[in-house]
Structure formats: C-alpha cells, structure tokens
Amino acid sequence: MSSKERDPIGEAHKQWVRHGWGDAADGMAFVTSITRVQQLLMERIDAVLRPLDLTFARYEVLMLLSFSSAGAMPMTRIGSLLQVHPTSVTSAVHRLEKQGFVERRRDDSDRRLVLAGITELGRSVIEQATEGLNREVFGKPGIDADKMARLTGLLRTFRANAGDFVG
C-alpha cells in the first residue's frame, strides 16, 4: 500500500490512542489536520502568486489597499486589519515598494502617520493575482459549498473562543 492510499494522520491517531493519549488524541488529530490543510492551501496559493513575485502576505496588503476608497491607509491600520505585527507590515510594504506596487508617504493632515498607497502597477498585479486565485484556489477549495460553509462556521467559533475577536 502506497503512502497516498492511507491517511497518515488517521494512522498517527491510532498510535496516539494506543499510547494512552485519551481525548488528547482527538485534539492532536484536529490540530495536525488543520495544519496540514493550511500547508496544502498555501502550496496552491504560492503556485499562483510566485510567478507574480508575490507572497500571500503581500497579496493581502495589496488587496486591503485596493479596497480602500483612497487607495491608501496608515501602516498601523494595515497591521490592525490584517492582525499582524507592525514589523511584518513594514517588511511587506517595503518589498511592495521596491517592486513598484506601493508608495509610502506622510499623511498631509498628520505628518506622524505613514501611509501606504497602491500604485497603478500594484492595481494591475493584484487584478492578475486575484483572477488566478479565484480560478485556482478560492473558486475550487476542495469541498462542496455546504461543507465549506459549515467548516467556516466551526472555525469562526474556534477563533471566537480563542479570543481572536469579540462577537
């Protein structure tokens, strides 16, 4: 039997149970499954974004800027909305700036604020990236719509219970 013919997480779960993990065996299978699904999705996402010299983190920054009415927002706001550390935002914006996809400038009304703004080149690449991701990843996630909606709801509950948001 090849390694593709059986579920390695299911096989590991049997070992965890056999070695007395109790309910923790189910938790380990859950965590390991989520981690593996994330890896599989990132492989698909990277296959679309790599030819455009983007990472998913930089894609998210560009999408956020493209959705903003002004096409620009404070760096601190980007980090808050994407739930990432300010250093990560600075790094992503720096790379996007070097690529010509983003420009940084001081806010005219509050010179302390640094704004990141999407360029026309950035709008062009984000359109290409989104078309590819919609076609190759988001439009065919690997499970049917009803199961996807249920799973998204379950994950939302998990996130809320973990304190990811209030609501």
**Which domains are delineated in the chain?**
1-52 (no CATH), 53-141 (1.10.10.10)
93, amino acid identity: V
Determine what percent of the chain falls in helix, strand and coil, rounding each to the nearest 5: 70, 10, 25
Please state, in angstroms and as integers, the Cα–Cα distance from residue 159 to each residue in 39, 52, 83, 148, following that order. 19, 31, 13, 16
Contact yes or no for 29/52 (Cβ under 8 A):
no
Q: What is the model's pTM?
A: 0.87
> Which tens digit of pLDDT belongs to each residue from 72-129?
999 999 999 999 999 999 999 999 999 999 999 998 888 888 899 999 999 999 999 9
Residue 1 reports pLDDT greater than 60: no
Contact yes or no for 59/96 (Cβ under 8 A):
no
Band of residue 52 on the pLDDT scale cut at 50, 70, 90: very high
Over residues 39-46, mean pLDDT: 97
CA angle 122, 107, 104 (to 5 degrees): 30
> Which tens digit of pLDDT belongs to each residue from 53-71?
999 999 999 999 999 999 9
Please state, in angstroms and as integers, the Cα–Cα distance from residue 19 to each residue in 13, 40, 51, following that order. 10, 28, 45
Give me the pLDDT at residue 58, please: 97
